[in-house]
Amino acid sequence: MKFSIPDMTCGHCKAVVERTIIDLDSNASVVVNLGAHTAEVKTTVPAEAIIGALKTEGYTAERIG
């Protein structure tokens, strides 16, 4: 699944997004594209859980694929 994360703009943001998703699922695969402000995630965790966890960290996320 793919997420749009418009507020993710730097290396620190990228690290927070990756860590947040890995904390939910240690086996998740996370590929971040800072230029496009997206993260492609392979996980068994529901999108809503990822969106909620990112919101807790201060990032608005929307599933786009």
Q: pLDDT by residue (tens digit) across 1-51?
A: 999 999 999 999 999 999 999 999 999 999 999 999 999 999 999 999 999
Q: Sketch the domain layout of the chain as residue ranges.
A: 2-63
Question: Which pLDDT does position 35 carry in this prediction?
Answer: 96
Question: Which pLDDT does position 61 carry in this prediction?
Answer: 98
Question: Which pLDDT does position 51 carry in this prediction?
Answer: 98
- Determine the distance from the C-alpha atom of residue 51 to the mean position of all C-alpha atoms in its chain, rounded to a whole number: 7
Q: Which listed CATH number (3.40.50.300, 3.40.50.720, 3.10.450.30, 3.30.70.100) goes with 2-63?
A: 3.30.70.100
Give the three-state DSSP class for 38.
strand
pLDDT of 65 over the 90 cut: no
Q: Which residues of 40-53 are buried (b: 16+ CB within 10 A; e: fewer)?
A: ebebeeeeeebbeb
